[in-house]
Amino acid sequence: MLVKQKKDPRTWVYFLLPGLVVFLFVCFFSVSLQRLSYPYEIEWIEGGVLHQVTRVLDGLPLYTQPSMDFIPALYTPFYYYISAFFTGILGWGFFPLRLVSFCASIGVMCSIGWVVYEYSRNRLFAFVGAGFIVAMYWFTDFWFDVARVDSLWTFFLSVPLACLLVYRIRPNLQLLV
Protein backbone atom coordinates (compact mmCIF):
# COMPACT_ATOMS: atom_id res chain seq x y z
CA MET A 1 0.00 0.00 0.00
CA LEU A 2 1.35 3.40 -1.00
CA VAL A 3 1.21 6.21 1.47
CA LYS A 4 0.46 9.59 -0.01
CA GLN A 5 2.79 12.25 1.21
CA LYS A 6 1.33 15.60 2.01
CA LYS A 7 2.77 18.52 0.16
CA ASP A 8 4.43 21.16 2.23
CA PRO A 9 2.02 24.12 2.24
CA ARG A 10 4.95 26.55 2.26
CA THR A 11 6.22 25.56 -1.19
CA TRP A 12 3.95 28.04 -2.93
CA VAL A 13 5.78 30.81 -1.11
CA TYR A 14 9.02 29.80 -2.80
CA PHE A 15 7.53 29.65 -6.30
CA LEU A 16 4.39 31.73 -6.63
CA LEU A 17 5.35 34.72 -4.49
CA PRO A 18 8.74 35.37 -6.16
CA GLY A 19 7.06 35.03 -9.55
CA LEU A 20 4.50 37.61 -8.52
CA VAL A 21 7.23 39.93 -7.25
CA VAL A 22 9.17 39.58 -10.52
CA PHE A 23 5.98 40.45 -12.39
CA LEU A 24 5.47 43.52 -10.18
CA PHE A 25 9.07 44.65 -10.72
CA VAL A 26 8.73 44.24 -14.49
CA CYS A 27 5.50 46.26 -14.46
CA PHE A 28 7.02 48.95 -12.25
CA PHE A 29 10.14 49.36 -14.37
CA SER A 30 8.29 49.26 -17.67
CA VAL A 31 5.80 51.93 -16.57
CA SER A 32 8.35 54.10 -14.77
CA LEU A 33 10.94 54.04 -17.52
CA GLN A 34 8.32 55.08 -20.06
CA ARG A 35 7.10 57.89 -17.83
CA LEU A 36 10.60 59.27 -17.14
CA SER A 37 10.93 60.79 -20.59
CA TYR A 38 7.28 61.82 -21.01
CA PRO A 39 7.52 65.53 -21.91
CA TYR A 40 4.31 66.72 -20.24
CA GLU A 41 2.96 66.86 -16.71
CA ILE A 42 1.87 63.51 -15.33
CA GLU A 43 0.50 65.06 -12.17
CA TRP A 44 -0.75 68.60 -11.71
CA ILE A 45 1.99 69.83 -9.38
CA GLU A 46 4.90 68.84 -11.63
CA GLY A 47 4.77 72.15 -13.50
CA GLY A 48 5.01 74.06 -10.24
CA VAL A 49 7.91 71.88 -9.10
CA LEU A 50 9.71 72.51 -12.39
CA HIS A 51 9.10 76.24 -11.92
CA GLN A 52 10.67 76.07 -8.44
CA VAL A 53 13.69 74.19 -9.81
CA THR A 54 14.02 76.82 -12.53
CA ARG A 55 14.07 79.51 -9.84
CA VAL A 56 16.88 77.65 -8.05
CA LEU A 57 18.85 77.48 -11.30
CA ASP A 58 18.25 81.19 -11.92
CA GLY A 59 19.43 82.08 -8.40
CA LEU A 60 16.04 83.42 -7.32
CA PRO A 61 14.62 82.79 -3.85
CA LEU A 62 12.23 79.87 -3.46
CA TYR A 63 10.06 81.33 -0.74
CA THR A 64 8.82 84.82 -1.51
CA GLN A 65 5.59 86.67 -1.11
CA PRO A 66 2.99 85.24 -3.54
CA SER A 67 2.50 87.24 -6.70
CA MET A 68 0.75 86.86 -10.05
CA ASP A 69 3.91 85.31 -11.50
CA PHE A 70 4.89 82.90 -8.75
CA ILE A 71 3.34 81.23 -5.73
CA PRO A 72 5.79 79.02 -3.84
CA ALA A 73 4.83 75.49 -2.88
CA LEU A 74 5.16 74.81 0.82
CA TYR A 75 7.57 71.89 0.54
CA THR A 76 11.05 71.64 1.94
CA PRO A 77 13.70 72.95 -0.47
CA PHE A 78 16.07 69.98 -0.53
CA TYR A 79 14.24 68.21 -3.39
CA TYR A 80 14.41 71.37 -5.47
CA TYR A 81 18.16 71.72 -4.94
CA ILE A 82 18.89 68.08 -5.75
CA SER A 83 16.65 68.29 -8.81
CA ALA A 84 18.32 71.54 -9.85
CA PHE A 85 21.71 69.82 -9.65
CA PHE A 86 20.55 67.05 -12.00
CA THR A 87 18.75 69.55 -14.22
CA GLY A 88 22.04 71.40 -14.64
CA ILE A 89 23.66 68.15 -15.80
CA LEU A 90 20.85 66.51 -17.80
CA GLY A 91 19.03 69.54 -19.16
CA TRP A 92 15.80 71.34 -18.42
CA GLY A 93 12.52 69.43 -18.27
CA PHE A 94 10.67 66.85 -16.27
CA PHE A 95 13.18 64.05 -16.87
CA PRO A 96 15.76 65.05 -14.20
CA LEU A 97 13.04 65.65 -11.62
CA ARG A 98 11.39 62.30 -12.29
CA LEU A 99 14.79 60.61 -12.29
CA VAL A 100 15.42 61.89 -8.76
CA SER A 101 12.08 60.47 -7.62
CA PHE A 102 12.66 57.19 -9.47
CA CYS A 103 16.13 56.71 -7.96
CA ALA A 104 14.78 57.57 -4.51
CA SER A 105 12.11 54.90 -4.94
CA ILE A 106 14.79 52.37 -5.90
CA GLY A 107 16.70 53.42 -2.79
CA VAL A 108 13.64 52.77 -0.62
CA MET A 109 13.29 49.31 -2.13
CA CYS A 110 16.97 48.59 -1.48
CA SER A 111 16.78 49.78 2.12
CA ILE A 112 13.74 47.59 2.81
CA GLY A 113 15.43 44.63 1.13
CA TRP A 114 18.59 45.23 3.16
CA VAL A 115 16.68 45.23 6.46
CA VAL A 116 14.79 42.07 5.55
CA TYR A 117 18.02 40.38 4.49
CA GLU A 118 19.82 41.32 7.69
CA TYR A 119 16.99 39.95 9.81
CA SER A 120 16.32 36.78 7.81
CA ARG A 121 19.63 36.09 6.02
CA ASN A 122 17.49 35.00 3.09
CA ARG A 123 17.84 36.73 -0.28
CA LEU A 124 14.43 35.55 -1.40
CA PHE A 125 12.77 37.19 1.59
CA ALA A 126 14.74 40.38 0.94
CA PHE A 127 13.56 40.38 -2.67
CA VAL A 128 9.96 39.84 -1.57
CA GLY A 129 10.33 42.60 1.04
CA ALA A 130 11.40 45.03 -1.66
CA GLY A 131 8.53 43.70 -3.74
CA PHE A 132 6.06 44.89 -1.14
CA ILE A 133 7.19 48.43 -1.87
CA VAL A 134 6.74 47.82 -5.60
CA ALA A 135 3.27 46.42 -4.91
CA MET A 136 2.33 49.76 -3.35
CA TYR A 137 3.05 51.57 -6.64
CA TRP A 138 -0.52 51.06 -7.82
CA PHE A 139 -2.03 51.99 -4.46
CA THR A 140 -0.17 55.32 -4.40
CA ASP A 141 -1.62 56.32 -7.78
CA PHE A 142 1.77 55.74 -9.45
CA TRP A 143 3.54 58.50 -7.50
CA PHE A 144 6.90 56.78 -7.04
CA ASP A 145 8.32 58.34 -10.21
CA VAL A 146 6.43 61.65 -10.33
CA ALA A 147 8.36 64.91 -9.95
CA ARG A 148 7.34 65.43 -6.33
CA VAL A 149 9.17 65.58 -3.04
CA ASP A 150 7.39 62.47 -1.69
CA SER A 151 9.74 59.75 -2.97
CA LEU A 152 12.87 61.57 -1.84
CA TRP A 153 11.29 62.21 1.57
CA THR A 154 10.45 58.50 1.86
CA PHE A 155 14.03 57.64 0.91
CA PHE A 156 15.49 59.97 3.53
CA LEU A 157 13.09 58.49 6.07
CA SER A 158 13.71 54.82 5.20
CA VAL A 159 17.52 54.86 5.07
CA PRO A 160 18.12 56.03 8.67
CA LEU A 161 15.37 53.73 9.86
CA ALA A 162 17.01 50.83 8.01
CA CYS A 163 20.38 51.73 9.54
CA LEU A 164 18.86 51.76 13.02
CA LEU A 165 17.12 48.44 12.51
CA VAL A 166 20.25 46.78 11.15
CA TYR A 167 22.39 48.31 13.89
CA ARG A 168 20.02 46.78 16.43
CA ILE A 169 20.94 43.25 15.35
CA ARG A 170 24.51 43.98 14.26
CA PRO A 171 25.88 46.64 16.63
CA ASN A 172 29.46 46.10 15.46
CA LEU A 173 28.55 47.19 11.92
CA GLN A 174 29.94 50.64 11.16
CA LEU A 175 27.02 52.08 9.18
CA LEU A 176 27.61 55.78 9.15
CA VAL A 177 31.26 56.12 10.08
Residue 51, phi then psi, degrees to nearest 5? -65, -40
Which candidate, 40, 48, 60, 52, places its Cα nearest to that of 87?
52
**Domain chopping of the chain, boundaries:** 41-169
Mind listing the pLDDT tens digit for each residue in 83-133? 999 999 999 999 999 999 999 999 999 999 999 999 999 999 999 999 999
At 57 the pLDDT is 96
E strand intervals along the chain: none
pTM for the model stands at 0.87
Counting DSSP H helices and E strands in the chain, the numbers are: 6, 0
Instruction: Please give the Cα distance from 33 to 68 (Å, whole number).
Output: 35
Alpha carbons 20 and 17: distance in angstroms, whole number:
5
In tens, the pLDDT along 123-172 reads 999 999 999 999 998 888 888 899 999 999 999 999 999 999 998 888 77
CB 129, CB 115: distance < 8 Å: yes
Q: Please state, in angstroms and rounded to a whole number, the distance separating the CA atoms of residues 106 and 38.
A: 19
Cα–Cα distance, 91 to 21 (Å, whole number): 34
DSSP 60: -
Residue 4: predicted pLDDT? 64
Say yes or no to pLDDT of 176 above 60. no
